[in-house]
A and B are shown apart, each in its own frame.
Chain A
Amino acid sequence: MADSAYTDAVPLLPQSALVLRQGRTWLLLLLLAVLLGLLLRSGILQLPLLKDLLTWSPALLLGMLANIQISVLAIAIGTLAGLFIGVLQLSSVRLVRLAARGYVQLFRNAPMLILIYFSTYVFPFELHISSHYVSFPDWIKVTLGLALPASANVAEIFRGAMLSIPAPQWEAASSLAFRRTQLLRWIILPQCLRRMLPSWMNLYSTITMGTALASLVGVHDLLDTAQIASTTVNRVDFTVAIYFTTLLLFFIYCYPISRFTHYLERKYAFI
């Protein structure tokens, strides 16, 4: 990494610009707001466009809520399943280990879209529980479809975190007469979980962006709402605005997660 003592005098080494920390970002946003105001006043930017956007914004936010709901549930299920599979990979029974590896390989190499289609078609339209018909809504199917790659990736992150724990830790704990399960529970797992955190947050970001695919199977998420809005209003400028608004909404949700992940990475860099 750059030795900070030298960059003060003559900047010899590369710098990476941190966006929101710099004052100029806020200046840019302020300029943008002023520009928007000027455009509104001059009549170039038609008010109906903003009126329409505002009319549709509750629907958009509801759609966004659907995406968030799916992503949170998918990562929750995926993490639990993934940790379970991760532990299975450490099993002393060879067959179990192989099966776990196979699961991980399968669902890591499969495109998310295909898994979503799969879960949508494979699961029935409704469930028959005793004499009741419980509808199996589309969004739950998508959630399960996303939980599959989530679990496989969590298992992989877990494996990576395990491998990064130095061998002396295992030896030291064994020499203190810990049994294998105790060793795992008290020494290894806590350290593992800390190391897994940045990658896990990365995974959550990926899953959240994957929820946009739900629109292709008929779930009324943000993207689907945007498409409906676009065809309803049926105006070119509105179409442009609504799609870029969708982009912005996803960005507003995912960017803070990304920054937090960076913060975590730096914090836990040398554990």
Chain B
Amino acid sequence: MPLSEVRPDAGNVLVELRDVHLAFGRTAVLKGINLQVRRGQAVSIIGPSGSGKSTILRCITGLLKPQSGDIFLDGTDVRALKSEAELIGLRKRVGFVFQQYNLFPHLTVLENLVIAPTRILGQDLASARSNAHALLERVKLGGKAHAYPGQLSGGQQQRVAIARALAMQPELILFDEVTSALDPETVGEVLTVIGELVQDGMTCVLVTHEMRFAEEVSDEVYFTEAGLIVEHGPAHKIFSHPDSERTRTFLTRALRGEEQGRRQTNSFSPISFDRLKFSV
């Protein structure tokens, strides 16, 4: 059953971006972004690589600071938060799942899930553990509690990452191209989990290249290109009869599978610590 109709229980505005500008040095990445996410909504941000989609997500959670514009999370002005403690307070309410290298490789799956609730939220270990097991069941990885991330497939790691974000009981979860680095076979299992989350009423913002999934799961879609929102609206409208020519071109190419989305290779490689071996 498609969820693309606006759900009647979508509540007040949870996230709002107003005219946000951000530049890295001299390169302008966001050139005036206006975005709104209501509580309970699922919003997708689509667009070509390099259009600033991931940057928007990082602004919402305070990982990046824009030069101008306003960002509000449930009324709190994110840009006004100065101290690290305030930023942490913000980040406790927002979950984030990244494309790769999410999990802590030196901890088991269970330890990954338990470390933040115990250290940051101050939960006691026993309840954190039982919550963690429940979450693992929810993402269908109940038996993997004592495995290390390196022993899991990409799809399994991403599901653990989603569970870890959920363990903090956030009000909102941001997904940054979470399936772009996965093998096609494992993409489906991650998308299923996200779909179930949306159905349960979690507010989600997804940056994704999976067009069919975005169409199926989102309430609202934003199409960005070169740092600007070209078009936005309800999912069924954007995907079937978008207003802008550029949106149409992009969607045609994307749905034809030509725009695969660049696989981001992280610059970490095993060579770096192999070279440390002969320090004569």
Contact = CB atoms under 8 A, between A and B. Distances in A.
Given A156-B278, A157-B278, A270-B271, A10 B25 contact: no
Contact of A5 (B24, B271, B272, B277): B24
A1 B24 contact: no
A10 B278 contact: no
A270 B265 CA distance: 15
Interface string B9-37: 00000000000001011000000000000
Interface string A160-198: 100010000000000000000000000000000000000
Interface residues of A, number: 20
Given A9-B22, A206-B280, A1 B64 contact: no
A160 B278 CA distance: 7
A202 interface: yes
B200 interface: no
B64 A9 contact: yes
A133 interface: no
A6 B64 contact: yes
B65 A10 contact: yes
19 contacts: A1-B268, A5-B24, A6-B58, A8-B25, A9-B22, A9-B66, A10-B63, A10-B65, A160-B277, A160-B278, A164-B274, A199-B278, A199-B279, A199-B280, A203-B280, A265-B275, A269-B271, A269-B275, A270-B271
A8 B24 contact: yes
A269 to B, nearest CB: 8
Contacts of A265: 275
B83 interface: no
A12 B65 CA distance: 11
B249 interface: no
Interface of B: 22, 24-25, 58, 63-66, 267-268, 271-272, 274-275, 277-280
Given A9-B65, A164-B274, A153 B280 contact: yes
B267 A10 contact: no
Interface string A76-112: 0000000000000000000000000000000000000
Point out which of A6, A9, A269 has the most chain B C-beta atoms below 10 A from its C-beta.
A9
Nearest to A150: B280
A1 B267 contact: yes
Interface string A217-252: 000000000000000000000000000000000000
Nearest to A270: B271
Contacts of B65: 9-10
A interface, over-half SS: helix
Contacts of B275: 265, 269
Given A9-B24, A160-B277, 6 more contacts: A1-B272, A6-B63, A9-B66, A160-B278, A202-B280, A206-B280
Nearest to A1: B267
A1 to B, nearest CB: 5
A5 B63 CA distance: 12
Contacts of B279: 199, 202
Nearest to B24: A8
B102 to A, nearest CB: 15
Contacts of B64: 6, 9-10
B174 to A, nearest CB: 16
Nearest to A200: B280
A203 B279 CA distance: 9
B84 to A, nearest CB: 11
B268 A12 contact: no
Point out which of B64, B277, B278 has the most chain A C-beta atoms below 10 A from its C-beta.
B278
Nearest to A152: B280
Contacts of A10: 63-65
A12 B269 CA distance: 21
Contacts of A12: 63
Contacts of B277: 160
A160 B63 CA distance: 41
A146 to B, nearest CB: 14
A202 B280 CA distance: 6
Contacts of B24: 5, 8-9
Contacts of A199: 278-280
B58 to A, nearest CB: 8
A203 B58 CA distance: 45
A156 B25 CA distance: 44
A265 B274 CA distance: 13
A157 B261 CA distance: 42
Nearest to A160: B278
Nearest to A154: B280
Nearest to B22: A9
